[in-house]
Structure 1
Amino acid sequence: MPELPEVETVVRTLNRLVAGKTIERVQVLLPRIIQRPAEPELFEAALVQQTIHRLERRGKFIRFVLDDLTLISHLRMEGRYGVNVAGEPIEKHTHVIFAMTDGTELRYRDVRQFGTMHIFRQGEEWSLPPLHKLGLEPLDPAFTPEALRKRIGDKPTKLKPLLLNQEAIAGLGNIYVDEALHRAGLHPERPANSLSQKEMDFLHRSITEVLQEAVDAGGSSIKSYVNGQGEMGMFQQQLHAYGMTGQPCRHCGHPIEKTRLGGRGTHFCPHCQVLRA
């Protein structure tokens, strides 16, 4: 599933490609992608003549800011956007097409068909699902060590599942939690309330550093992720823990191990990330 760096990269790419364009018509080819309004015909009609002023990211969600509406899109497992010239062949698994007045089309393609789209009147999206319970934004200036301590510092929950909880921190997923915990030297099973102030500071710094480096690299193309121009991310070349099972830790040389925690594959170095009570 695309995580914060991948979604941020898609948003930045689409801002260059479609911001300022006006939607002439919309074609929904797979109705279950559309969550609000429930009727695809109403979704299509609502967006006609709406201009895309800008795109923003909240957690793993994309916000299309229109004239008086907001379109919220979640890519889920393998959703992707691409910009085509009208009349070009439509790829298999293309489920929503936004035709622009300039003759281009923004096409949403999703092999797994898990993506979702919601339309709201501007402003109401913050108080309704799916955005209303999202936690701290880890690349926002408000994400400080103190904010992180207030959000998770008193919880007995193990670090890995807690950091994956989108109501705690929005945007983190399996790849970047493994990388941040490895960089901070913290075992994924450590209870959050067992961290010292110094360890919490290390965790905060590791989260922000890993995410920013991944954004700068255009995200990680582990499976099928590409940005809005079909370009792969490159951060997978800088991974130290995720997907590195059996390979030597770049810090100490001990083989990286993999276990399952909360149903998720979890990668760590048992030498650098010792489990302490």
Structure 2
Amino acid sequence: MPELPEVEVTRRSFAEQISGAQISSVFLGKPLRWPLGVAPESLVGRTVLQVRRRGKYLLVDLDRGLLMLHLGMSGSLRFASELPPLGSHDHFQLTTTHGLLRLHDPRRFGAVMAFGGEDDSFAIKLLSKLGPEPLEDDFDFDAFKKGLKASRLPVKQLLLSGKIVVGVGNIYASEVLFLSGIRPTTSANKIGPARALKLHTAIREVLARAVATGGSTLRDFSAADGNAGHFQLEANVYGREGQPCKVCGAAIKMLRQGQRSTFFCAHCQKP
């Protein structure tokens, strides 16, 4: 699943190029997770102002309203002046005066939704409960520490919930907990101030590094310009079950938490 770094990399790879473009046609294929919400032809003639991100949602501001995109489990965007003919897994395309923006989504868990603005009731429902952005100034340590203390969930499950920080998905949760020296099964409220600060710092560092390296390409992720990510080549624990820890040499272990794979070093990460 594309996580926050992959979504941010995607945004950066086409936001500048599409800015100022006018929509000339809209293709809508098989149904996605949520409906578009308007007739596709009603978007024709609108102008793209900018592309923002909130959590894993891309917000395409138009001169009238906005489009909200989510890549789901397997979605990816491409933006180019020309693209191959539409395939069976291409379910949405904007043709604009600056190029084509296409959503490719084999599993169809992604979505493209049109709203009059962020004050739309469904947009509010999707965005209002998201935690602070980890790469922004509002990711306050004191609030983060209080959020940990208020929860008895295993810390990795709390990170994945998006309640105290948004966008720390499965890959990066394993990585930040390794850098923090915290066992993924540790109850969040058992984490003291010193380790909480390490975790807060690691979240910033890991996600910033992931964005800088183009995200993680584990299967077929690529940015809107077609470039793959390389963060997976630097992973300390994720996907390395049975391999030696890069710090202590102990074998990396894997366990299941909430039907997701968690990777950790039992020697370096303490309960």
Residue in structure 2 matching 1:217, options 190, 213, 219: 213
Q: Which residue matches 2:132?
A: 136
Aligned residue type for 2:24: E
Q: Report 1:93-172 matches (<5 A).
A: 93-102=89-98, 104-125=99-120, 128-172=124-168
Matched ranges for 1:43-122 at <5 A: 43-85=39-81, 88-102=84-98, 104-122=99-117
- Paired residue type of 1:5: P
Q: Which residue of 2 aligns with 1:13?
A: 13
- TM superposition outliers: structure 1 runs of 4+ over 4 Å: none
Offset at residue 226 of structure 1 (A):
0.3
1:33 Cα shift?
4.9
Q: Distance in 2 between matches of 1:125 and 1:246?
A: 48
Paired letter, 1:231: N
Counterpart CA distance in 2 for 1:125 and 1:11 is 23
Mapped contact 1:43–1:119 kept (Cα < 8 A)? no
Deviation at 1:136, TM superposition (A): 1.6
The residue type paired with residue 206 of structure 2 is: V
Partner of 1:195: 191
Task: Give a deviation string over 1:83-128, Cα, whole Å, max 9, x none.
Answer: 24468422331111111135x3211111111111221122315862
Cα distance between partner residues in 1 of 2:33 and 2:185: 36
- In structure 2, stretches of 5+ residues that fail to align are none
**Does the aligned pair in 2 maintain the 1:178–1:266 contact within 8 Å?**
yes
Determine helix, strand or coil for the equivalent of 1:55: strand
The code of the aligned residue for 1:20 comes to: G
Q: Is the 8 A contact 2:67 2:114 kept in 1?
A: yes
Listed as ranges, the gaps of 5+ residues in structure 1 are none
**Contact 2:133 2:165 survives alignment (8 Å):** yes
Q: Name the SS of the counterpart of 2:171 in structure 1.
A: helix
Q: Is the 8 A contact 2:148 2:191 kept in 1?
A: no
What is the identity, as a one-letter code, of the residue corresponding to 1:17? Q
Task: Please state whether the residue corresponding to 1:246 is helix, strand or coil.
Answer: coil
2:28 alignment counterpart: 28
Q: TM-score, normalised by structure 1?
A: 0.92
Q: CA deviation at 1:165?
A: 0.2
User: Does residue 1:207 correspond to 2:203, yes or no?
Assistant: yes
1:72-93 deviation per Cα after TM superposition (whole angstroms, max 9, x unaligned) = 1110111111124468422331
* Worse overlay, 139-148 or 251-260: 139-148
1:267 equivalent to 2:263? Answer: yes
CA contact (8 A) 2:31 2:108 kept: no
Aligned residues of 2:55 and 2:133 also touching (Cα < 8 A): yes
Query: TM-score scaled by structure 2?
Result: 0.94
What is the aligned-residue RMSD (CA, Å)? 1.7
